[in-house]
Amino acid sequence: MNQINMKMYQHARHCSPVHSLQSRRACRLQTLSSSRRSFTTCQPLHGSYADTLPSLRINSNTRVIFQGFTGKQATANAKDSLAWGTKIVGGVTPGRTGEHLGLPVLPSVRQAMEQLKPDATAIYVAAHQAPGAIEEAIEAEVPLIVAVAEHIPVHDMLRIHSILKTQSKSRLVGPNSPGIISAVGKCRIGFQPLPCFSSGWVGIVAKSGTLSYETVASTTRAGLGQSLCIGVGGDMAPGTDMIEALSVLEKDPDTEAIAWIGEIGGMGELEAAAWIKEYYSRSESPKPIVGLIAGANEAPGRIMGHAGAFTFLGEPTAKAKITALEEAGVALVNHPAKIGDILKTKLQGTAGFGTTSGSNPFASGTQRRQLHSMRGLERRPLVAGPFVYKKPQHQQRRSIYLEANQCFDELRARGGINCGPYSGHGIRRLLAVGIDRSARSPAILVAPSIEDWMEEAQRTTAPVKSFPFDYRRGPDDLAIERIASHLQLSNKGDSAVDSLRRLIKSLTTLFYEREGLLLTTHIVERLGEIKVVHARFAFDQATFRNGTPSNKIKAMHVRATDEPAEIEAERSGIVYVKLPGADATIGTLVNGAGLAMNTVDALADAGGKAANFLDTGGKATSETVKESFRLILQDPRVKVVFVNIFGGLTLGDMIARGIIMAFKELSLTVSVVVRIRGTNEEEGQKIIAESGLPLYAFDDFEEAAAKAIELSRK
């Protein structure tokens, strides 16, 4: 065979055989999720996935269906979207026909396509059902598919991307996304808070839903309004990436300026910076772009809420992203509330735009390149900037880990791989199987040498190079030969390459069977073959959360080194990360990972210091809010709690009731500053105002943050 001969493996939700050379040439159809669904693993004969980008140009004529139409969440969303003007023409609920909200209900997407002829589908089903719903929509060739669910296992998305790349009919937005919305065309496919939107000229691209809502509110206050807002989402493998979204806004006639919101995790921001630099150089009158990077104060080695909000092997830091965007000519801010006025200033002299009003209550509107959590950290470039893969000080809750001895046992059992501790002899090289976010596919990650492990970080002396491969095919022999060449093996004979091939086969098989995120090994040459001298394997916890059989997690070990409060938080669906520093005295309670990261960043820029990162989750309840207060107040450093809410799915009145409940049941003695915006904000603000409790309530973020900082110093 001309590729690794991996066996067909059976997955709990799908079956993905690895093709032989002959089957590749024949481009046979391959069964994926069920006997009735099949997709080719070859590129389409005509067109490509890039040809589906025009489907993002939604408008008042876009015909929308819902998958999971009769469910509670879809029903509430559809009612609001219909009232706003979205052209919803019906929906799908398996096994049902009839009417719902006066619109037709059909049992399959195929039938809905034939009878209702939609341009787009909004998927409102649980995470474990979402991959099947996405595949059904691709099979039916729905032009635009919007998936809002979070916690979809990464391997499901890698498999779906393998499918998307073979067709030219369907475009995916999401998952883990607020969706897409045209304020000009009154078309909402997602759960964005409608009261914030106004028809206008600013296109928005964002990983974070809550930060995009803040940006919408800012551009509305500035009198600019919005044109098209694309939520690419915070997943590791989004259906539409930031460059694709930017390219659509570049050509959108309704868009005259662009707001762009990135965050830690992945190469997308650096790639977007390169795209923007090239766009500015080739355009006579380019649209102004204002941006923001969330997560500059990330906790090293931690996942900051979003599935993809962490720095992976060989990926750039927030500092590198900020630097690249500044060099590309992007005006950067440290909070989205500033975006509206800055864009308004940049559009001065254009008919229809007024003058900038108001002053900035914070001293600086730009993002700082060096924040307190970055000082003193030596950065060494890996590829094209100050990248660093940080050795986790705590476990990333997205992942389940195997430590070195367990990894050795797995490799010996699977392929008879030679494993053992490093003797001090031989050049150590990096070989890993992980995910290339830019390619949206699995990849072999390699570097020809590795320095000693350091207390704070793992650094390499040479670039980490990625060799992506198709999820449903696996790496082939040509890739193995290129990998061997890049590793600069001293033994060029067949034995060393064969040994490398066996190791890669064992790693990729384990990657598939256990749904790996990053399987890292350090290797040396020993007697003409490859020996593994260190290993650490991380697997996707979302897989197990969504019902993977228990036999798939045998031998997996989760180190109990996290803060007790963080483990308690996870049980309640809350993401809580304790931040370092004796002077970190501001507890933060925020909905949405992007807004939570930015809240920590903006407080730092204004001279404050957050004691924690806390994301209540997109569906926070009053009980969730009360539990969040309890977790925050376990930290004796906290002098004030800053509640910062900008709701989409999260309801303002629900948050307000949770705050009241916390006061009554937890006997709060610290000061509380509250800012509630977004869905049901008026109801929430009224509850707070009428509570009679000693709360400091604000509409404006910067006023609220300034008050929280003031109280933290008392």
Please check the confidence at residue 39 and state whether its pLDDT lies above 80.
Answer: no
CA atoms within 13 A on the CB side of 583: 9
Q: Which helix (H) or strand (E) holds 483?
A: helix 477-487
Helices 477-487 and 494-513: angle between axes, nearest 10 degrees: 110
CA distances from 288 to 57, 269, 342 (A): 20, 17, 10
Give pLDDT, residue 205. Answer: 98
- pLDDT digits over 317-368, tens only? 888 999 999 999 999 999 999 999 999 999 985 544 433 333 333 334 455 4
Pairing of strands 389-390, 457-458: antiparallel
Q: Please compute the mean of the pLDDT values over residues 277-304 and round it to a whole number.
A: 90
Would you place residue 379 in the very low, low, confident or very high pLDDT band (cuts 50, 70, 90)? very low
H helix runs in 586-648, sequence order: 593-605, 622-633
Q: Extract the tokens encoding 583.
A: 């002077």
Cβ–Cβ < 8 Å for 63, 257: no
pLDDT digits (tens, 9 = 90+) for 589-616: 999 899 999 999 999 999 999 999 999 8
pLDDT of the residue at 415:
82
Give the distance, in angstroms, between the CA of residue 593 and the centroid of all CA atoms in the same chain: 9
**Number of Cα atoms under 13 Å in the Cβ half of residue 323:** 11
pLDDT digits (tens, 9 = 90+) for 429-483: 999 999 999 999 999 999 998 864 333 334 444 578 999 999 999 998 888 989 9
- 558 pLDDT exceeds 70? no
- CA-closest candidate to residue 196, choices 227, 220, 169, 170: 220
Contact 440, 155 (CB under 8 A): no
Q: Which residues contact 381 (CB under 8 A, 6 or more apart)?
A: 387
Q: Is the per-residue pLDDT at 619 higher than 70?
A: no
Identify the pLDDT of residue 414: 84
Active site residues: 306
Model confidence at 308, pLDDT cuts 50, 70, 90, reads low
Asked if residue 550 has pLDDT above 50, the reply is no
The pLDDT assigned to 306 comes to: 59
Distance CA 164, CA 167 (A): 6
Integer Rg of the chain from CA: 25
Distance CA 270, CA 437 (A): 12
Confidence of residue 44 (pLDDT cuts 50, 70, 90): low
Q: 438: which 2 tokens?
A: 């830019």
pLDDT in tens, 670-711: 999 999 988 888 999 999 999 999 899 998 899 999 999 999
pLDDT the model gives residue 355: 36
Please give the average per-residue pLDDT across 206-213, as a whole number.
94
Residue 8's pLDDT is what?
28
Q: What is the DSSP letter of 610?
A: B
Region for 57 from its dihedrals, namely left if φ exceeds 0, alpha if ψ lies in -120 to 50, beta otherwise:
beta
Distance CA 182, CA 198 (A): 10
Q: How confident is the model at residue 23, as a pLDDT?
A: 35
pLDDT higher than threshold 50 for residue 395? no
Does residue 12 register a pLDDT over 60? Answer: no
Residue type for position 576? Y
18, pLDDT greater than 80: no
From the list 632, 560, 542, 545, the residue with the least C-alpha distance to 596 is: 632
User: Which is more confident, 586 or 452?
Assistant: 586
Q: Mean pLDDT throughout 123-129?
A: 95
* Whole-number Å distance between alpha carbons of 270 and 325: 7
C-beta separation of 343 from 225 below 8 A = no
Find out whether 138 and 167 touch, Cβ atoms under 8 Å: yes
CA dihedral angle for residue 258, residue 259, residue 265, residue 271, rounded to 10 degrees: 20
CA distances from 144 to 148, 189, 304, 635 (A): 13, 10, 29, 46
Mean pLDDT of the region 137-160: 96
Q: For residue 182, what pLDDT is reported? A: 98
pLDDT in tens, 508-535: 999 999 999 999 999 999 888 999 999 9
